């Protein structure tokens, strides 16, 4: 087995190329925020890691990310969807926000049983007149509809169901554990427990106080109510 390791300085993106039993494989570790504007991984860096690996038969992508830029997440998703190689994605800690979109690019999608998934409405900050805010609001709705269509394409949810889950708690969205993720079709397999990366705790600050224990309890209640109304709970 041959190995070659490539990494981008100051980011949580690492690639390891190896050849096992005649199969060329690149292991990508997306272990950071998505988007250079947040100090994280950009689509350019992501694409260059894949290109640097050369022709491969399989791309293994391991995700532990709180998400970030909508556009950068969609760009990474499209890169993987257009890849000639088979794409296998495994969530090793958290796939939240834009990272949940990247995750859905996998031909095979797995999630360790100790992991979590989160989807929510797009967020943004706007300064300007009332008209500027109205325009941005319309654009955010458009972004949300596009993300919901991606969820519809790869899961058992309709776009309307996805948007309802994204909009829960005034747009803060819905959290799922691995069993719920497999029930709704976000992943196809739950793997054995995997130890989360140590700095996953740093992601708490990214989401802030909205994910306190009391807020989490409210999210769970709303999620269960939604699943019951749409007959999505396991029998």
Residues with catalytic function: 97, 120
SS (H, E, C) the chain: CEEEEEECCCCCEEEEEEEECCEEEEEEEECCCECHHHCCECHHHHHHHHHHCCCCCEEEEEEEECCECHHHHHHHHHHHHCCCCEEEEEEEEEEECHHHHHHCCCCEEEEECCCEEEECCCCCCCCCCHHHHHHHHHHHHHHHHHHHHHHHHHCCCCHHHHHHHHCCCCCCCEEEEHHHHHHCCCCCEEECCCCCCHHHHHHHHHHHHHHCHHHHHHHHHHHHHHHHHCCCCCC
């Amino acid at each position: 087995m041959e190995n070659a390791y490539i990494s981008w300085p100051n980011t949580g993106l690492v690639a390891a190329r190896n050849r096992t039993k005649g199969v060329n494989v690149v292991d990508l570790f997306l272990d950071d925020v998505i988007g250079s504007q947040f100090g994280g991984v950009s689509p350019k860096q992501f694409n260059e890691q894949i290109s640097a690996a050369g022709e491969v038969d399989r791309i293994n992508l391991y995700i532990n990310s709180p998400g970030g830029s909508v556009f950068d997440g969609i760009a990474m998703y499209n890169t993987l969807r257009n890849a000639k190689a088979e794409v296998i994605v495994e969530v090793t800690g958290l796939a939240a926000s834009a990272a949940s979109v990247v995750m859905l690019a996998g031909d095979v999608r797995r999630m360790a049983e100790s992991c979590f998934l989160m989807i929510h409405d797009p967020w943004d900050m706007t300064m300007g007149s009332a008209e500027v805010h109205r325009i941005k609001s319309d654009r955010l709705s458009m972004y949300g509809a596009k993300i919901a269509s991606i969820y519809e394409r790869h899961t058992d949810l309709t776009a309307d169901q996805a948007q309802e889950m994204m909009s829960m708690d005034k747009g803060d969205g819905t959290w799922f554990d691995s069993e719920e993720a497999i029930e709704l079709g976000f992943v196809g397999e739950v793997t054995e427990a995997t130890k989360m990366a140590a700095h996953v705790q740093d992601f708490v600050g990214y989401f802030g106080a909205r994910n306190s224990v009391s807020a989490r309890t409210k999210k769970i209640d709303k999620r269960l109510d939604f699943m019951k109304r749409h007959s999505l709970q396991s029998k």
